[in-house]
């Protein structure tokens, strides 16, 4: 059933069943059709249709059957099992129409993102999303983050995923869609991978995951991932050489702390190295010329 059909579907069945109250056969057919439309499996449909015959024989109205009796059955609870966990967690149960609408929205989002059919669109996964109150809007947002890992257009992004989190495409997508993973964590990790991918794109080593996650959280006042890594690639090799000569240990990580974290001590370390080199050769050497000059390092 399409998402646009579900909002009033349950009410429509109640109204239509009221019209068939004097015709048990028509009422039974309508009830069975409703169960199929609402995603009950064959065994559940057969069991509940038998139960419906008994309810109808006791002259229960269609409204009573759908709104009061049906929700008490094990078949109904299993079909909308996500509601059980919601109630336990202090969340309101979704109406059948809303439950179905969410299911349709999740599956539509998966298809739009190009996720292969059969991956994460099974009942258990979708029930879990509903149990954990992941809205279709939030789910779509997570899918947009996962799509880059899925479409395979950026090998550096994939390289960073593997290096930083040990995740291949499928595992990363599953991780991003995990309803028990907090959205802020998901977003921070996805942004952190941007730093790793930018480093790999510039031929640099992928640095510490925790450090990139800190930058992704807005720590410091530095450059964006792409611009910052390009800047580091232009200055870090020469500075690293100078750091080895002077014994200060200046390296790519130090440059990242300055460029991304705005760390004053890292900036001073770079300036001291440049000054030492200038003093050593009484002016600019080939090593410090251009990219190592303080005026060419990013503005913080």
What is the token pair recorded at 135?
């809205």
| 145: Cα separation from own chain's centroid | 6
pLDDT of residue 170: 65
How far is it between the farthest Cα atoms of the chain?
105
Average pLDDT, the chain: 78
**For residue 2, what are the contacts with CB-CB under 8 A and spacing of at least 6?**
104
Quick: pLDDT tens for 42-84: 999 999 999 998 988 888 877 788 888 999 999 999 999 999 9
**Cβ distance 9 to 37 under 8 Å?**
yes
Of residues 217 and 292, the one with the higher pLDDT is 217
Alpha-carbon distances, residue 252 vs 5, 228, 260, 282 (angstroms): 57, 12, 12, 26
Q: What is the pLDDT of residue 262?
A: 83
More confident residue, 26 or 77: 77
The structure's pTM equals 0.58
What residue segments make up the domains of the chain, in order of their start? 3-79, 112-206, 225-296
């Amino acid at each position: 059933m399409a998402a646009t059909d579900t909002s009033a579907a349950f009410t429509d069945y109640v109204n239509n069943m009221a019209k068939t109250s004097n015709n048990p056969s028509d009422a039974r057919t309508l009830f069975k059709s409703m169960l199929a439309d609402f995603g009950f499996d064959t065994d559940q449909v057969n069991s509940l249709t038998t139960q419906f015959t008994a309810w109808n024989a006791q002259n229960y109205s269609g409204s009573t059957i759908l709104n009061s009796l049906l929700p008490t059955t094990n078949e109904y609870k299993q079909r909308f099992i996500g509601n059980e966990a919601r109630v336990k967690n202090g969340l309101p149960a979704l109406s059948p129409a809303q439950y179905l609408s969410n299911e349709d929205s999740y599956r539509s989002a998966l298809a739009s993102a190009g996720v292969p059919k059969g991956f994460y669109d099974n009942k258990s996964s979708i029930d879990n999303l509903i149990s954990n109150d992941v809205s279709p809007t939030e789910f779509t947002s997570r899918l947009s983050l996962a799509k880059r890992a899925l479409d395979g257009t950026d090998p550096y992004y994939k390289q960073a995923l593997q290096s930083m989190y040990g995740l291949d495409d499928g595992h990363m997508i599953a991780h991003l869609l995990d309803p028990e993973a907090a959205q802020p964590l998901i977003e921070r990790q996805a942004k952190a991978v941007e730093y790793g991918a930018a480093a790999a794109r510039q031929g640099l080593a992928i640095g510490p995951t925790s450090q990139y996650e800190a930058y992704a959280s807005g720590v410091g006042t530095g450059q964006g991932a792409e611009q910052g890594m390009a800047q580091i690639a232009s200055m870090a090799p020469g500075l690293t050489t100078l750091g080895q000569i002077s014994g200060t240990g200046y390296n790519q990580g130090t440059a990242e702390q300055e460029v991304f974290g705005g760390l004053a001590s890292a900036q001073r370390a770079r300036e001291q190295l440049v000054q030492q080199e200038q003093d050593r050769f009484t002016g600019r050497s080939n090593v410090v010329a251009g990219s190592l000059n303080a005026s060419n390092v990013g503005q913080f």
